[in-house]
Amino acid sequence: MSGMADTDAAAQPLVVVEQLAPHVTALRLNRPERLNALSFPMTAALHDGLDAVAADDECKVVVLTGAGRGFCAGLDLRDFGRPPAPGTHPWMPAGRTGQAFMSDLTRHLRATPQIVIAAINGVAYGGGLAIPLACDLRVASADARLCAAFIKTGLTGTDIGISYFLPRLIGASRAFDLMVTGRTIDAAEAERMGIVSQVYEPADFRSEVTALATGIAGYTKYGLRNTKEVMWHNLDAASVDAAIAIENRNQDLGNVNAEVRQYMSEYANRIVKK
């Protein structure tokens, strides 16, 4: 187990990188004493963690979760620190603001080539909800509590990409409800709405998430990476013709890909034996 470079005052890594299974890596937010509330140092560490897994060609699936009793309580209003100086971090070029540095986590998640699963344990408030919305899959522990809390600060209910991702997951009516009421929902309601696709009992949460990630990691890198690319591009496709064109391109390229051809041969042999 290894941690990213950014640490808190107690010299603990703010994001821990852990291999859960072959081809599966966990990124664990690690400020449990603050319910993993977001700070600028933690934001930097999470950017670094995403860059690290993106560069790992053997990693197929990333599990993003929180240490302790919560996933992420949102921005740490008492101690959010300062963003890096321009030019001192890859995601902080000249002219970038602290607001953009934090909100870019959602863009970074979408740009990460691996399938990213948000494993929501405990509270997921404000930015702690917006970040999972940008992941490819979301699952929750039965004791999870979710809240789009931005409106409670006196600012708008729109931050860190939530006004883009949430309506696309659950529709504009439900999304607007959560964004302007600031109400908290439990894991069961989150599943009914479509925010999460699975809810697991707390005692089984880690093993169930690992099993889910391992199952997905059994498929080809080509298949997973290009499914992610096409799925999210086609969500905003201008027409069905444009969507099918990019699907056809990937299927044609896959048919001549060595990894895919080997996998297909092995799959066909397994089917014949049955």
DSSP class per residue in 25-65:
EEEEE--GGGTT-B-HHHHHHHHHHHHHHHT-TT--EEEEE
pLDDT tens across 3-20, in order? 344 555 457 899 999 999
Q: How many whole angstroms separate alpha carbon 116 and alpha carbon 230?
A: 15
CA 99 to chain CA mean position, Å = 19
H/E element holding 254?
Answer: helix 240-255
H/E element holding 141?
Answer: strand 137-141
CATH class of 2-217: alpha beta
pLDDT tens across 164-214, in order? 999 999 999 999 999 999 999 999 999 999 999 999 999 999 999 999 999
DSSP class per residue in 169-209:
HH-HHHHHHHHHH--EEEHHHHHHHTS-SEEE-GGGHHHHH
pLDDT averaged over the chain?
A: 94
Q: How many whole angstroms separate alpha carbon 197 and alpha carbon 269?
A: 32
| pLDDT for residue 203 | 97
- Average pLDDT rounded to a whole number, residues 216-228: 98
Sign of CA dihedral 180, 181, 184, 187: negative
Phi, psi for residue 137 in degrees, rounded to 5: -135, 150
pTM of the model: 0.93
